[in-house]
Structure 1
């Protein structure tokens, strides 16, 4: 049947038959072919009916009449849009009750022998229809009569043949309808045989069989990725038994504890879990003792593109050892706005070309391990300066410019085989209006809620066939858009396949379930999402492994933080420490030429990780002293008061520090900055300890001063007075040691930088 013929046809179809005949599987496939929604009639049963069936008690006609009236009203309400609905409809009187509400209903009877039906029922784990009721249903069944519009198909044939016969029969009995005004919604159903899934027949059969055997609650649960806040078995039991989640991400901890946690989770679930981690910088994002290899920016700050591949390789090896199979990486945002600090260190660079080149390398490296990737954050961060963790941010490029930049990145990575995409809570006003002309400002929503971005653009124009997941659902970039009860199902309805993190598990699960029952999430959209979820699991081969084989043995953890991986990190640190400027010719500075060093440390204060923000200074001091320098560490008034010193304040510290004999006490000043603040602030700049703080580089006119950033690349906007600036990228011992060696001239600076470091101001270049 052609698309034109489908649009001309009014489909009000009941897929009928006894339990086990495949009403859900066949009905959904038929609906997809006809381009209409699908609904499982079981979801319309009142809770009293479900309880009876689960207890093995046959329903009475008094139980059925209200349900059948609801089924008929659903068909009638579908109007010219059409609907395929699965409902047993065993008796003529039941079908008559449906026709009273929807007279043009056509019945597709899936017929099969008792033996075939019994075998299928035995494989339906968790369904509320016990096999003991099969005899009762067969006794109740009244075949379609001559005056009933309908088709009978034998289910003994393969599924594809059953669907083909059903469509052929329906084409002869379904009547034409009026053509609806406007263009019908575009449908982009998954093709599991195509990239990035590339499943064979057996794997596709596993997906379809698993889907057919799932209860409604299991289907809803698969849409969620839980954030594991507790490592206890009891906690995991509750999550898996109550919410049937499809995936998990855990809070990093010691590798042994993480691995055992994952092992327990996989042992307790009927359907294997996607286990995600955040290996943006190597293994460090997955467990406390993982190897920090480099940041994305660091991997883009040297001509050697293999750095990104090495980062991916280490990330893959270490996360696979833990039992992870899904990496929330690489990051493919483009750092166009120097004020944007969300991705300033988490982007490979400020051009599409560098992002594509390095992202492909990372993907190829991590793909050497059994790992799927979720690149992020569609439709692209790096234009706005705000952080979607605390406010909705926007990619304000026009469609044509977006297509040349971010669109280019996504096309290249999709063609390269990336399996999944994490969608940011980032709006794209002009791109949305390209697909929905006339959208008012108030109607611009973050991409997680925008079908024009997820369906028309991502699925349609970019041709992405893989899985789409939301970014963390507690982020205010999403939560400010709608009430929670509305936004939870709206993300799936818009085109996301998985929902990242519960806020409140019981509430969010119910919101999603209610969204399905009310029709916000159509049966077709739900099943398409589930096929993508199960398809990703099958593409990783999870369906072929026993539960006790999904996580490696404990001895696999030997690779985590190994000497080999630390050596890779040290080599990359040496390559990427970058001299941004030395306009005063201060370098080299050695213990012979400048023995006495005044050392200042700058941080953004404690963040959500609760790590000591100045802990890195101990490492800096150790490395400088090991090199032979005499180090004099500056402490603020607050730090001195915390140490028990009395009678100090910021004014007294200024008077004490800024004296005329400064150059007689110190030969050089080193400022090491490790300012983070990620996910808590809309923008990040240096915050000094006090007004006119003594650590601000007033001393640049007194002694040679070297500023070293261990994180953000944009600090020159706040310290333009320094004439020697170095970007070491990370607060690791390897990066600090490499920076200290290069300050002394023991090795050459090899790192590169882009124009963002000068922050668009002339004085930063002086």
Structure 2
């Protein structure tokens, strides 16, 4: 059972009494509702009223909505809920994880590349202040995964890196800044992503490290965070075979479960060996990593029975609640386990001061996206952008000597043609022209299709000018990659818009070429022929501006790469 006087709760007798009185006065339906975090997509009064008064939700996250809409939504939840709710955001890179108007400061990879802790502290502080302005009190971060597999793109940019000491240092700094601002953290994704390449949205993840390897990587990170007072842990739909077998030597491989359903990992490893006393929340329960391991009924009952205190997202409100109720009634979820979960949930709320809630004033919204935060974003870009290699010794580039630039911008296929082209392309063209370059930026297949869909557009992407004409008219090729992937494929590799496209690097032996990634750090595997490569970690205006400054020598490269950029290849280093 939880100890509410111990860390991370550190509750006074008065607050513990509030927890006890609140639980005592709950109906069974209200108790079940406390276990759930709702993904709020609709904000009409009828929907919000139903969530509060019928389903009695314990927490909320959301998607979409303007700054003011999110503020009013969260204010409604806190003013109308019998028990104040935990309001969570994904502040992994700044305030943009709370609201679209928020400030992107730095990804985890950028924080890891920066040689100063200022970058992660600025990212966390801005994220906390902007999230708090709309009523948030909980962040699903830090991402404290240790990325040892270069093929992993699920947490490639979200995690701080491959060195456990660095990951722990950055994670602790993040947590300190969040706590200073009054938010609590949920470190993720226990037992650890980054050692394999698959996406738990699509398949059960497998952390296949030995127990000794795990202790020296993920274990070291989690132990340091827990000892420092980590309030909550988000558990991934990721199994850890070695530790499952250590705590249950008789278990068969076919019975090994993701951590969300595994008492061996939750009770034996996290609570027992690591001594975690805080709240455990599942990762999103619509992921195939969970649905592949159990049907919905047994998943809803099983995650709570195994040791998770809160369930991230409903599938069907009525159905999920009924499943949990049935599990309580038939003893799958014991009375003790339910009581323990409720004490942790209410204990976290008391720790946050929700027993005496004061909601932010609307004037506080002015801090979201403010000029000071944009300045910190530019500072983060300056500290993190990394020159991985320049074996051809081309940098810095002088616009007077290499004026005519051909920009190949390699982007992911848009979800819809209505989304338009990647806005970073125009930002980059504008910054290059401002620096004194003459820029030609050919349309890619997606842009042709947006202008006028045609079966001939793919052939337009195959057309080439003569090599001699090309060399006469081009001083420099800038090859920029902004690939994105999420819950669609198990890893994201560089992909050209059509086969045999003129985007494919035929030009590297014709004119000087510089390659830049605005996102993933592992693209050298697909373009090892690039002799100059930069990891820029972001496509916001601040990052684009600083990138051009560094390419032209107006600012030095300050970031440091880790060895996964070489993708275990000799040719990527040449």
* TM-score tier (shorter): over 0.9
* Cα distance, 1:280 vs structure 2: 0.5
Tell whether 2:245 aligns with 1:449.
no
1:62-73 equivalence runs, <5 A: none
- Spell out, residue by residue over 1:534-588, the C-alpha distance to the aligned partner (whole angstroms, 9 max, x if none): 000000011023xxx3x21110011111111110110110111110011111212
Aligned pair in 2 of structure 1 residues 647, 198: CA closer, same or farther (>3 Å)?
closer
Q: 1:410 aligns with which of 201, 211, 222?
A: 222
Residue number in structure 2 paired with 1:750? 558
Aligned pair in 2 of structure 1 residues 542, 652: CA closer, same or farther (>3 Å)?
closer
Mapped to 1, the partners of 2:109 and 2:446 lie a distance apart of 33
* Cα distance, 1:589 vs structure 2: 1.4
Aligned pair in 2 of structure 1 residues 200, 436: CA closer, same or farther (>3 Å)?
same
Aligned pair in 2 of structure 1 residues 429, 611: CA closer, same or farther (>3 Å)?
farther
Residue number in structure 2 paired with 1:517? 329
Mapped to 2, the partners of 1:718 and 1:636 lie a distance apart of 19
1:594-633 equivalence runs, <5 A: 594-607=402-415, 611-612=419-420, 614-633=422-441
* Cα distance, 1:658 vs structure 2: 5.9
* Cα distance, 1:518 vs structure 2: 1.1
Of stretches 436-445 and 650-659 in structure 1, the one that deviates more from structure 2 is: 650-659
Q: Structure 2 length as normaliser, TM-score?
A: 0.98
Q: Is the 8 A contact 2:2 2:277 kept in 1?
A: yes
Aligned pair in 2 of structure 1 residues 610, 349: CA closer, same or farther (>3 Å)?
farther
- Other structure's SS at 1:227 match: strand
Largest Rg, 1 or 2: 1
Aligned pair in 2 of structure 1 residues 637, 236: CA closer, same or farther (>3 Å)?
closer
* Cα distance, 1:610 vs structure 2: 8.2
Tell whether 2:241 aligns with 1:433.
no
Tell whether 2:373 aligns with 1:373.
no
Q: Is the 8 A contact 1:597 1:631 kept in 2?
A: yes
Mapped to 1, the partners of 2:250 and 2:572 lie a distance apart of 43
Q: 1:639 aligns with which of 421, 443, 447?
A: 447
- Spell out, residue by residue over 1:3-22, the C-alpha distance to the aligned partner (whole angstroms, 9 max, x if none): xxxxxxxxxxxxxxxxxxxx
Aligned pair in 2 of structure 1 residues 446, 524: CA closer, same or farther (>3 Å)?
same
Residue number in structure 1 paired with 2:355? 543
* Cα distance, 1:736 vs structure 2: 0.8
Residue number in structure 1 paired with 2:539? 731
Aligned pair in 2 of structure 1 residues 691, 191: CA closer, same or farther (>3 Å)?
same
Residue number in structure 1 paired with 2:49? 237
Residue number in structure 2 paired with 1:330? 142
1:575-590 equivalence runs, <5 A: 575-590=383-398
Residue number in structure 2 paired with 1:127? none
- Other structure's SS at 1:367 match: helix
* Cα distance, 1:763 vs structure 2: 1.0
Residue number in structure 2 paired with 1:393? 205
Aligned pair in 2 of structure 1 residues 672, 263: CA closer, same or farther (>3 Å)?
same
Aligned pair in 2 of structure 1 residues 499, 646: CA closer, same or farther (>3 Å)?
closer
1:224-373 equivalence runs, <5 A: 224-373=36-185
Tell whether 2:549 aligns with 1:741.
yes
Higher relative contact order (CA 8 A, sep 6+): 2
Mapped to 2, the partners of 1:720 and 1:697 lie a distance apart of 10
Aligned pair in 2 of structure 1 residues 610, 541: CA closer, same or farther (>3 Å)?
farther
Q: Is the 8 A contact 1:311 1:365 kept in 2?
A: no
- Spell out, residue by residue over 1:168-225, the C-alpha distance to the aligned partner (whole angstroms, 9 max, x if none): xxxxxxxxxxxxxxxxxxxxx1000100000000000000011110000001110000
Mapped to 2, the partners of 1:572 and 1:702 lie a distance apart of 35
Tell whether 2:511 aligns with 1:703.
yes
Aligned pair in 2 of structure 1 residues 652, 644: CA closer, same or farther (>3 Å)?
closer
Aligned pair in 2 of structure 1 residues 612, 430: CA closer, same or farther (>3 Å)?
farther
- Other structure's SS at 1:226 match: strand
Residue number in structure 2 paired with 1:58? none
Unaligned runs of 5+ in 1: 1-188
Aligned pair in 2 of structure 1 residues 608, 248: CA closer, same or farther (>3 Å)?
farther
* Cα distance, 1:249 vs structure 2: 0.5
Tell whether 2:368 aligns with 1:560.
yes
Residue number in structure 1 paired with 2:310? 498
1:82-161 equivalence runs, <5 A: none
Q: Is the 8 A contact 2:414 2:446 kept in 1?
A: no
* Cα distance, 1:351 vs structure 2: 1.1
Q: Is the 8 A contact 2:233 2:280 kept in 1?
A: yes
- Other structure's SS at 1:373 match: strand
Residue number in structure 2 paired with 1:10? none
CA RMSD of aligned residues (A): 1.5
Mapped to 2, the partners of 1:678 and 1:314 lie a distance apart of 25
Task: Report how many residues are paired.
Answer: 574
